A and B are shown apart, each in its own frame.
Chain A
Amino acid sequence: MNQRLTISSALSRAAQLLAIVLATTALQANAMPSFARQTGMNCSGCHVGSYGPQLTPAGIRFKLSGYTDSDGQSGKVPLSAMIVTSFSKTQQGQVPAPDHLKSNNNLKLDKVSVFYAGKISHYLGAFAQFTHDGIEHVNMVDQVDVRYAQTHEVAGKEVLLGVSVNNNPGVQDPFNTMPVWGFPYVSSAAGVGTGDAATLINGGLEGRVLGTSAYAMLNDNFYAELGTYKSMSTKLQSSLGQGSDDTNKLGGNTYWRLAYMNDMKDQAFHAGVFGWTAAVKPDHTSSGPSDHYKDMGIDASYQFLGTREHMATVNASYVRERKLKGATSDVAHLKEARINASYYLNQTYGASLGLFSTKGDTSTDSTRGKMLQVDWTPWGKEDATAPEPFSFANVRLGAQYWDYNTFEGNSSSAKDHNTAYLFAWFSY
């Protein structure tokens, strides 16, 4: 509790500092937050639809370059903030109501985040998110990715070499197909999402591990990455806001990623494979055997970029998990398939459709449905920025509708979980 209070007061102080800094910089220049301020680029330069996290090829290069590209000017403040607030309505009220929520019609402040996002030194940069979860009323260290990257020339070819230290396998990935940065980029805490069954690489140990990976990008085409992770101690997890109820302990493990991408300027695509093979002891307080996970995925994306007036994207992934239970030698399988397509007009008006399917050996692992999103992002473009002195701010207003065919094995009452979600997503 004291640790949580300490983090809470630290976040409060950071928020006050951020407010002062942003107010100051707003008066100094036509600034935009963090990365945009650092590079002088608009949100639309790196993000599809002028809002994160879906990256364009320019955004992918920026991330892999260690968040260090800049316009060369000094005095840029690498701090940003984000607020997500929403209204959720499910087709049938939930009985009993989920913790911290009403049974239906929830108007909530979903989260408030403060970021350190930007260059630390010439080759070192960081994306570190500190979040107040408005539903759970918990402050936590959220996604963290600190990376060092340098570009070299080898045999006439450009080779980008880098190292990432992060707290969630996949958070360092530059494509929006793996679970961490995959569609949808925001969703309702009052809804049921894609169900409880999820692969280990789909956030199984998010924020509870610390790991490092080394990566290389050859000629802006071939991407390879290899890494490993270690569980944080229960005390450290607790002090970072993750609580102390998780008993998993990660043993030997290997994270890997291979991809080919091609940026043709008016369009771009990537195709790749990834995986995480890990031994996880389900109860670190006992001397029992570990479970052995083998998660493997295949993914691809396509982006029509054109003159940026009309943009369209497709992202797809398929993850297969094999879990060998140490205690019983039973084998369980889980398969996650995701595909989504989006269209943006003038990098402002967006419509997206996503299909999701999770299947396991038992019917209760199976969830299948679709989600439609429409959104409006008025700023973050060269010809459209927020009014002074907040020209660096951006907002996305959106509506989602989740429609379930099957939810955790049940088709007859699946529609009861259909969820309408209206959100306002601010960033500064």
Chain B
Amino acid sequence: MMIRRILPPFLRRRALLPRRSLVPVLRQAAPTGPAIQDSFTDTDGVTLPGHVPDLAPAGSSWSNTNLGVINNQVHYLNSATRQLSVIQTGISDCIISVRCCQDANGSASTGSEYRSGIIARYSATNSFWRIAFHPVAGFAIYEVNAGVAVARAATVFTTEYGAFHTVQAELVGESILGKIDGAYPISYDLASFNKTASIHGLMIGYSGSVPAVDDFLVERI
């Protein structure tokens, strides 16, 4: 059930004209090497904080004990929804990619309608960027700023349950470019919020739908 209301009454509003006239340009920064790489190869049941990434800066570790490794992928260890896990990378401008599956056992359920993807430029539990897809409601860039979630760009995207998709986010200054499987480009070029934050991570949907995440990579540019 989606409930929408218009904010505010349309009349009497002062319009803000575009700060920039943007023609979509598909950027592609050149990666110069990994800062974080993790294939989540570990013993089943190890929590993400207890798991050591394949490659990470000294002292960096994953957050969130609700998430852990099963079948060499990130899965829920406890029932929960919309969990995220983040890790200090040391860089704010980078290319992040991760493989996400909405329903790893291939069995659709009504509770599967949650987003999966990338958390970028995280500074607090209610302040970060989210580049994520929903099984039927599209692929979008969200600014979550002091708890206020704002969609900044979106495109039509649907997926079948059980399929893995590679979500990618290219972060350069105030520009964010998102893609799924190298396609469905979306961009937002006024991303001043948290632009120097260097903690990034992943987001995974509802535990009951058995979502999975694999192959997290942060590349320097």
Q: Do A and B bind each other?
A: no
Chain B interfacial positions (CB closer than 8 Å to A): none
Chain A interfacial positions (CB closer than 8 Å to B): none
